[in-house]
Amino acid sequence: MNDVVGKGSVAVITGAGSGFGREFALLGARRGLRLVLADVQADALQSTLAEVTALGAEAIARAVDVADAAQVDALAAATRLRFGRVHALFNNAGVGSAGLVWENSLRDWQWTLGVNLMGVIHGLRAFVPAMLDAAAADPHYRAHIVNTASMAGIVNPPLSGVYNVSKHAVVALSETLHHDLALVTAQVHCSVLCPHYVSTGIHVSQRNRPASLANDAPATRAQRVAQALVEKAVTSGKVSAAEVAGMTFDAIEQQRFYIASHPQALVGARARAERIVAQQGPYDPFAEREGLRDSLRAALAGQGD
């Protein structure tokens, strides 16, 4: 056990306006953490700030686009000024993209990789050096970083190539971070959060897409089919975002690296690894759901329009 998520510790949370980020903030407030909340959506951010303040938390909120390195650097400066050292960093902000991989626009790639991957990279660059300085200065100091990836960072479902790539990169980055930290300190640890479908605002990510990265062309049939699929899966998720926040805080206390919200979904991870080792074709995500494959093929072919 450690006090990284205990009373008085400082937590920085990106994507704090909704979903997992908001639940990290609420749980943090209940535990007496001091909070730095960041999100690109100002109204949602202010609403989380009001909620944590009502719970008695000391908190600041900053409108930040995590895809912009200078804005994340400014967040780190504001954090240092207000609270000094950071104990928990949640690189959590993320967006979804769907469709056949060759149909995604350059802007789909730029937007999704900008938020989901570069956002995490900017968070590490802006906050980790100061954590290591704090560790060197104080043997009692402990810190923990949680990067939010996805089950889509472990397996590769079809119709979500851009998102899969962004999340696999976050898993790779996090595993490497774990190894790199272990080479230089025993006081700073990290985890990678890999949720399966959970009901949040992720299926309506386009609400926060910058106009400069908007698509000119309307969504293709495949993108509409994929969007409907994601919406159904997300909104019917049985595990809540609050439960995932609880699992995440438990994992921080236990210094556990992989955090899977739906352990049963890891059957895909095992099957994928076995097929890699056997040098066979990729794991078939429809292996036990032939009906879904057939209905997707029909939808992509425009049957039922």
Q: Which of 104, 187, 200, 223 binds ligand NAD (CB under 6 A)?
A: 200
Beta-carbon neighbour count of residue 133 at 10 Å? 12
Helix axes 290-300, 221-235, angle to 10 degrees: 140
Is residue 283 part of the annotated active site? The answer reads: no
Give the dihedral of Cα atoms 164, 146, 238, 112; nearest 10 deg.
-30
Q: Does 225 bind ligand NAD (CB under 6 A)?
A: no
Q: Does 131 bind ligand NAD (CB under 6 A)?
A: no
Q: Which of 92, 160, 174, 187 binds ligand NAD (CB under 6 A)?
A: 92
Residue type at position 266:
L
212: burial class by Cβ within 10 Å (0-12, 13-18, 19+)?
exposed
Q: State the residue for tokens 């210094």.
A: 255
**Tokens (6 digits) for 111:** 């937007």
| Residue window 107-126: x/- pattern of binding to ligand NAD, with contact defined by CB under 6 A | --------x-----------
Q: Least distance from C-beta 231 to ligand NAD, angstroms?
A: 11
Q: Does 150 bind ligand NAD (CB under 6 A)?
A: yes
Q: Which of 49, 131, 135, 202 binds ligand NAD (CB under 6 A)?
A: 202
Q: Does 173 bind ligand NAD (CB under 6 A)?
A: no
Secondary structure class of 259 (helix, strand, coil): strand
Say how many CA atoms lie within 13 Å of 192 toward its Cβ.
23
Q: Does 174 bind ligand NAD (CB under 6 A)?
A: no
Residue 141 or 201: the one with the smaller Cβ distance to ligand NAD is 201
Spell 246-255 as b/e; 16+ CB within 10 A means b. Answer: ebbbebbeee
What is the spatial distance between Cα 266 and Cα 2, in angstroms, rounded to a whole number? 28
Q: Does 195 bind ligand NAD (CB under 6 A)?
A: yes
Q: Which of 95, 252, 259, 299 binds ligand NAD (CB under 6 A)?
A: 95
| Residue window 28-67: x/- pattern of binding to ligand NAD, with contact defined by CB under 6 A | -----------xxx--x-------------------xxxx
Count of residues that bind ligand NAD according to CB under 6 A: 32
CA 85 from chain center: how many Å?
23
Binding site for ligand NAD (CB under 6 A): 14-15, 17-21, 39-41, 44, 64-67, 92-95, 115, 148, 150, 195, 197-198, 200-202, 205, 208, 234, 237
| Residues annotated as part of the active site | 163
